[in-house]
A = this chain, B = another copy of it.
Amino acid sequence: MVLMQHNTMIRQIAVNGERMRADFEALAAVGGDGSGGVTRLALTPDDIHARAWYADRAEEAGLRVHDDDAANLSAILDAADPNARTLVIGSHLDTVPDGGRFDGAVGVLAALECLRTIHESGIELPVKLEAMNFTDDEGHYASLFGARAFVGVLTSEDIFDTRRDNAQLRAALRSVGSDAQRVLGTRRDPESLAGYLELHIEHGTRLEKSHRPIGIVTGIVGRKTHKITFLGQAGHSGTTDMYKRRDALRGAALFIVRAHESMRARYGDGIFSCGDVDVKPGKFNIIPSEACCTVEFRHVQEDLMVEMEREALQIARECAAANALDIRHELITHMPAASMSAGFVSAIESVCEDFGIPSMPLISYAGHAGQFTAQITPTGMIFIPSVDGIGHSPREFTEWEDIERGANVLLQTILRWALGA
């Protein structure tokens, strides 16, 4: 009976939509172009402005503000027990260049609003709640930098490798009072964590098309990027013997055609893409001596992603051999595939069922902090629709009612998770 009353009370808690909307408008103005576009590159003045604004909102609400050595910035609602574990709810304040108002911002503001709402409700939870802004999610310096620091997978190379000009990243960290020397020690103790939860726009049209306002993320695709360079020999395109040509672009083109065909045929759930070919010397009348392909592999299963990568590299070697070329390849990025916690999936599902909100399970084809947090703590993600699936664009748009509904699903999931923890 007591439990039922408690549950009824819990069900009745809801975010303050007006307050959250005022926050949304205020944040959209920071780095905003006045017509929907926002540019808040990580650790640039506009992002620093947004961070200060966020810290002010958190302090106003009586939350504790904390930042770690990777400049991840949190608003914390402490628990009665100082040794309680922490449920982190996060996203990012930074944007891509010429991005939109929703990507990242919605997740941070909803997290903040959930903490304020719970704080105001007077409910005592057995876990701490931490509304976190992860540093440089969008990769102005290094994609998912803050999330990687959080789980402890950054390497010394990520911060101190001089070939990548990381001096700018170090200077940017210093500008917000963080110390690059200590970033590698940022790693959170998994034992101290109760989970990680994030609300984000879908970056796709699956929710919109199926008229379901909530997506329950079951997995985040992994991503590996390579530069695969075909190496031939330059020569006058008119006078070089046709049978002695070592045309690097011809090999690269064959690779692009064959790799697309093979990947599509064999890995229906995987994605292969070649986004660029850089040809040298790149003249009308000179046989290309170098063609460097920028390729990526995505798959929600890490083992299949590695298989795709291995097979594509084999195709590249065959295409090189067929054109008397040499080959060189370099792994540029590895973002691991991640499964979302079954516990979070069912918690979100049951919230949606209880509130009669149509939902559907989804795989995330874009990268998110959760693909790293899943390595050390149960992780869940809630997607809300983005109109026409547009993301990373000033035309990015989500209806306000979808945002408020998403924030309430987030709030109810936090409460269930925290009370069940």
Contact = CB atoms under 8 A, between A and B. Distances in A.
Interface of A: 203-205, 221, 223, 225, 236-239, 241-242, 247, 249-250, 252-257, 260, 264, 271, 273-279, 282-288, 294-296, 298, 332-333, 365-367, 389, 391-392
A212 to B, nearest CB: 17
B236 A203 contact: yes
A253 B286 CA distance: 18
Contacts of A284: 225, 275-276, 294-296, 332-333
Contact of A271 (B237, B273, B333, B365): B237
Contacts of A253: 252-257, 274, 277
Contact of A256 (B205, B238, B249): B249
A391 B287 CA distance: 14
Given A225-B284, A332-B284, A277 B279 contact: yes
26 contacts: A221-B238, A223-B238, A236-B365, A236-B366, A236-B391, A237-B271, A237-B298, A238-B365, A239-B366, A242-B271, A249-B274, A249-B275, A250-B256, A252-B253, A253-B254, A253-B274, A275-B283, A275-B286, A276-B284, A277-B279, A278-B282, A283-B294, A284-B294, A284-B296, A284-B332, A284-B333
Contacts of A294: 282-284
A365 B264 CA distance: 41
Task: Pick from A236, A252, A365 the residue with the most CB of B within 10 Å.
Answer: A236
A275 B271 contact: no
This chain's copy number in the assembly:
2
Contacts of A288: 274-276
A273 B289 CA distance: 13
B275 A204 contact: no
A247 B333 CA distance: 22
Contacts of A221: 238
Contacts of A254: 253, 257
- Among A242, A249, A273, A294, find the residue whose CB has the most chain B CB atoms closer than 10 A: A273
A225 B238 CA distance: 12
Question: Which 7 pairs across A and B sit closest by C-beta, in order of nearness?
Answer: A253-B256, A276-B282, A237-B273, A238-B365, A253-B253, A239-B365, A204-B239
Contact of A277 (B236, B239, B247, B277): B277
Nearest to A294: B284
A250 B259 CA distance: 10
Given A277-B277, A282-B294, A271 B238 contact: yes
A252 B250 CA distance: 11
Contacts of A241: 205
A283 B287 CA distance: 24
Contact of A285 (B205, B252, B275): B275
A236 B282 contact: no
A232 to B, nearest CB: 12
Contact of A203 (B239, B250, B279): B239
Contacts of A278: 282
Contacts of A367: 238
A273 B253 CA distance: 13
Contact of A247 (B273, B332, B392): B273
Given A239-B389, A253-B255, 13 more contacts: A204-B239, A236-B392, A237-B273, A237-B296, A247-B260, A247-B273, A249-B274, A249-B277, A253-B256, A253-B257, A275-B279, A275-B287, A277-B279
